[in-house]
């Protein structure tokens, strides 16, 4: 998966970690996108629980950080526009390039540490464990 999120080609690799994953309520928004595979972030992030959906944030310096589990999809421009709209990019989430644990470069929707300051962490790093428990 050594593609970059800014290829001039027709697809952008996007890492999803919450309600867009298979079996989750917003997965149908990825209809027509190519599933690339499971993915893990580097251990530089935290996953927070916003209630009905999670948010990925950069780890606070000196705080806990861990790898977050998700899925990688190759999406075309029209799907990327839909994702930007539902994620309210750039007003709420910010679509940002990151490197995954396997070296792949992907786009991901991040919140700032400040935005997520008062929300609980999902210590497993996997939204599906929270979604199954709820």
Lowest mean pLDDT among 2-16, 44-58, 94-108: 2-16
Contact between residue 21 and residue 132 where contact means Cβ atoms under 8 Å apart? no
| 134 inside domain | no
Number of H helices, E strands in the chain: 2, 7
Core vs surface per residue 24-42: b (16+ CB within 10 A) or e: beebebbeebeebeebbbb
CATH code where residue 52 lies = 3.10.490.10
Tell me the pLDDT tens digit for each residue of 6-26: 444 689 999 999 999 999 999
66 has pLDDT over 60: yes
Question: What is the domain count for the chain?
Answer: 1
Tell me the pLDDT tens digit for each residue of 80-91: 999 999 999 999
**Interatomic CA distance for residues 88 and 129, integer angstroms:** 25
Confidence at residue 130, expressed as pLDDT on a 0 to 100 scale: 77
| 5 inside domain | no
Residues annotated as part of the active site: 87
The mean per-residue pLDDT over the stretch 94-118 comes to 96
- Return the ∠ at Cα 94 (arms to 84 and 7), rounded to 5°: 70
| 70 inside domain | yes
Domain assignment of residue 91, given as a range = 12-120
């Amino acid at each position: 998966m050594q593609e970059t999120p800014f290829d001039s080609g027709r697809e952008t690799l996007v890492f999803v970690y919450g309600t867009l994953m298979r079996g989750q309520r917003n997965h149908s928004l990825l209809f027509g996108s190519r599933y690339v595979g499971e993915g893990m972030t580097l251990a530089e992030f935290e996953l927070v629980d916003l209630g009905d959906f999670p948010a990925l944030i950069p780890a606070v310096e000196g705080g806990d950080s861990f790898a977050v589990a998700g899925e990688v999809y190759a999406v075309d421009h029209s799907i990327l526009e839909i994702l930007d709209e539902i994620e309210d990019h750039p007003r709420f989430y910010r679509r940002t390039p990151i490197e995954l644990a396997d070296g792949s470069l992907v786009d991901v929707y991040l919140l700032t540490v400040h935005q997520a300051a008062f929300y609980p962490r999902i210590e497993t790093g996997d939204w599906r464990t929270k979604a199954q428990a709820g």
